[in-house]
Structures are given as structure tokens and as C-alpha cells.
Chains A and B, each alone.
Chain A
Amino acid sequence: MEHFVQTLVDAVSVGSLYALTALGIGLIFGVMRLINFAHGELITFAAYALLALFGLPTPVMLFGAIVVAVALALITERAAFRPLRNADPTTLLISSFAVSFFLQKLLILVVGSRLKGLDFLPTLGRQIAIMGVRLQLLQITTILVSAVLLVALTWFLRSTRLGLQMRAAAEDFRMARVLGVRANRVIAVAFALSGILAAAVSCLIVVQTGVVQPRMGLQLVVIAFVGTVIGGLGSLTGAALGGFLVGAASILLQALLPPDLRVFREAFVFVAVALILLFRPQGLIPARGLKERI
């Protein structure tokens, strides 16, 4: 029983991380129809910010990670994506790969490609007993942080003027602009929010793995992207659900598959993804009323 609950909590915790990553990708796709693979580098740079600030008080490190991820998100939007705003989605996709590679190689050039250990918030590695079941504090923290961010993002999108404008822009950007919604502001806010989500994921991943390395973000983003696709590109609820399912499924397969099949768990996940897309090509929660971009 204890093992079952532990596995379940682990699955929810990893699922939450992928949900946050998928949401970051989904937010940008919503307003720009851009699949931003450079989202991974936001995660990576935030992790290196933690490394650079190591030794300072934790709130300073967290704040630094957020500032770096948000600033990088805004800079990539301004420098790489804004000039291409009227380009077709393929061009945007390729430019996002270019930005991703550029940032990754830049990081390797500056700090090297080797793994670096980072013992961030080691107290979260402790186990606590909840109703007789021993659980890792980090897993509980991951679930709580994800839940808080999800609620905050939902509140922002549902209850603020800017959130309403973002939802309108995601559905029909051109009409939103006709009504006076400022494209630059809405897109910048979406990038900034994706930066905050990336920083949160980065902090949680660093605590979990204890290392930073230049490719850490890309690996997460590729899996989370699969999540956004099965959830339904353009739908934020779909992105969160898809990301969660992919992450959780991979942990559950790790636990449930016979030991000699565990190395193939990714293959099982992707077979499931292929099946979902076969029966629901628009994803689990398709976006409603997607219109042309700007």
C-alpha cells in the first residue's frame, strides 16, 4: 500500500512538472502559434542562475532564477520572434530551434558542457510521514508549487483585463487587435509568464537532480511538447493535462512494467501518444475557434 501511494505521489509530482513546462509552451503557442523549443533554455538558464547565486539566501536565488528566465524570454521575443511575427508557423518553429541551439551553445562556450553539482535546498530531500506513508518533501513541494501556479495562472487569465485580452488573442488575434488589444503587450506578457513557469520548473528540477547541465531544459521541453500535442495545441487546459499525463504515465510505467521492459518505458509512452492522436487528432481537449494569427 505504502509503495503504491509513493508511486502515485511520484507520478503526480513528475506529471505536475511536465504540466508546468507544457503550459509554458502552450501559452506562447496560444498567442503566437509558435512552438517555442527555446523554452527549454529558459529552464536551463534559470538553473545556471541558481548556480551563479549559490550561497546567497534562498529567496535571492529564487528571485534571480525568475529574473533571468523572464528577461531571457522577453529578449528572445524581442530579438528573434517579433521580427518574424507575420511569418508562417514553420519559419517560427525553425527560428525557435535556432534560438534554442544558439543559447545552448552559448552556454557551453561560457560555462562548458560538463555537469555541475548544485546542492540546492537539500532539506527538500527529506522524507516525511503523512498518514503513515513516508513521502519525499520535494514531491509534496512540487505538487503544491504546481497547484499554486496553476491556480494563479487561471485566476490571471479569467479575472484580469490582460488575461481576458490574452484569451481573446489566443482565439482570434486579428480581431482582438481590431478591438484595441495591443499585440506587443499581450505577447510580451505571455513570454514573461512562460519565463516564470520555466523558472519554477528549473528550481524544482535542480532540487530533484542536484545537477545543472546545458541540455537539461531541452529534454524536458521535448517531452512536454508531446504533452501539449496530445492535450490539444492551443488549449491551455489541454496542455496542462497532456503534460501531466505524459509525465505521470512515464513514472507509472517505470513502476508497473516488468524490470526487463522498463528501459523501453518511453516507447510505451509514445505508443500511447500515437494511439491518442490516432483517435483524437485534435488532442484530448481541442482548442476552440482557432483563427489566423495576427
Chain B
Amino acid sequence: MTKRVPLLCVSGLVVRYGAVTAVRGVDLAIGEGEIVSIVGPNGAGKTSLVSAVAGMVALTAGSVAFAGEPLAGIALEDVVSQGIALVPEGRHIFASLTVTENLLLGATVRGDADGVRADLDRSFDMFPILGARRRQPAGQLSGGEQQQLAIARALISRPRLLMLDEPSLGLAPAVVDRVYVLLRTVREGGVTILLIEQNAERVFGLADHVHVMSGGEFGLSGTAAEIKADRRFDAAYFGVHMHETVGDR
């Protein structure tokens, strides 16, 4: 991937909950069309970082800019209309609503009813199981199907940036494979992806750039191939303090 003007630019981001600092001055730039992954153990601050970008938690310090425009101060419900969609950890599908209703909610910010209908059909082509179950309450879907629904629901807002927080959590390995194949298709459609995962091995085959996060900061950053080959990966993952951009060495 060639470097372009960053679509998402996070600088010096700090997120603090009372006395606990979850994110400690993180810088992150994602170019249009890239897949960037942040990997790290539980409690590394990954979800706090992505929640701050999505407007779900307040920034203690630092800034977030999307397509050159600052996102600070934007209400939670306005973030999606900027072109950022989130597939949150735990999926958060609406269990009592049907599959179709869940998808329509993904199109809340869109005013083009015809376009939404066409995209609904496109979603059912891309995720055939959702098409087959379109009238069922989403709570009746299996975990993998719910994950597909959460991704399809995010995509129907036609985002420029899709953020996924641990999409493989709680899913069988074969189902995770299927989700990752879908993400590749999504990227081919021109959508930029920020992927949060605990399982680093998973993202190496998909991401262009990988940041290893621990203790609220990036310990190691580089291309997927570089991070995979780096001996210091384990130390960075488990929080031995360091920060280097592999490509800069």
C-alpha cells in the first residue's frame, strides 16, 4: 500500500477514566484504503482508543481528525454521518428486531430510500445467511451470523472507515476465517479498515500495518510482515516498555 494523506489521524490521544489512564498519548494515522490493525492483550486500551475515535468516550487529551476535519466535540450520533462506522466488541445487535430492521438502522443517516433498498439487497448477496433469515429476530442468529449482521449493519451506512473491535471474539475458528474473508471483500470495495484484535496471528495475513498495544500505548509498529518477523513482538505484546517503528530502524 502506498502512503497517502491519512484518512484518520489520531495525535497524542489520552483517555482517562478517573484515576485510570487507558490510553497514553497514542499517535495513529490510517491512509485511505488501508487495513490497519491494533493488537494487544486484554486491558491494553484498544477498545478505549477505538471508542474515543467513535465518540463514545471523551478524549482527555490529544486530537482525532477524519478526512482532515477535527472530530472533537461531535455528538456520538453525528460520527457515523462523517463516514465512520463501528462494529463494537460484543456486536451489540438489536436482539428483538429482525435482521432487516437491524440493517435498516445501519442506514439511519442515509436519506436515499432507493439506495438503501439496493444496498439491503447487496448485503443479502454478500451475506447470504442474513438474506435467508431476514425476517427472524436477530437474537435467534448464531454468534457468527450476528457478527456478519453487525458488519453488514455498519457497511450499510456506506462508511469510508470501518472500525471493528475484536470481531473474532467468541467465534469458532472456521467462523472467524469466514469473517476475515468478508473483510478482505470489504477492503476491495474501497473501505478503509481499523481492526482491533487480541489474536495477532489472525491479522498478519490481512492488515497492511500493525500496531502492538500494551498498557495504553503502542509498543511496536510496522508492516504486518515486519511485526510478524520481529523478535520483540512478545515483549511489546506483554507490555515491556518500548516504542519503535520497525520500518524506521
Chain A positions within 8 Å of B, measured between CB atoms, are: 161, 164-165, 167-168, 171-172, 174-183, 288-289, 291
Contacts and interface: CB of A to CB of B under 8 A. Distances in A.
B186 interface: no
Contact of B77 (A161, A164, A172, A180): A180
List 7 A-B pairs, minimum CB-CB distance, nearest first: A289-B95, A180-B109, A180-B108, A175-B92, A288-B96, A180-B80, A177-B77
Contacts of A167: 94, 96-97, 101
A291 B54 CA distance: 19
Interface in B93-146: 94-97, 101, 104-106, 108-109, 139
Contacts of B153: 179
A179 B95 contact: no
Contacts of B96: 167, 171, 288-289
B105 A178 contact: no
Contacts of B56: 174, 178
Interface of B: 54, 56, 76-81, 86, 88, 92, 94-97, 101, 104-106, 108-109, 139, 153, 157
Contact of B81 (A174, A175, A180, A291): A180
5 contacts: A167-B96, A168-B101, A176-B94, A179-B80, A179-B108
B104 A164 contact: yes
Q: Is the interface of A mostly helix, strand, loop or mixed?
A: helix
Contacts, number: 68
A102 to B, nearest CB: 30
A179 B157 contact: yes
Contact of B76 (A164, A168, A177): A177
Nearest to A182: B77
Interface centre among B54, B86, B92, B139 (most CB of A within 10 A): B92
Given A165-B105, A180-B109, A171 B79 contact: no
A171 B108 contact: no
Given A178-B54, A182-B77, 10 more contacts: A164-B104, A165-B105, A165-B108, A171-B94, A178-B76, A180-B77, A180-B109, A180-B157, A288-B96, A288-B139
A178 B56 CA distance: 8
Contacts of A180: 77-78, 80-81, 108-109, 157
A235 to B, nearest CB: 9
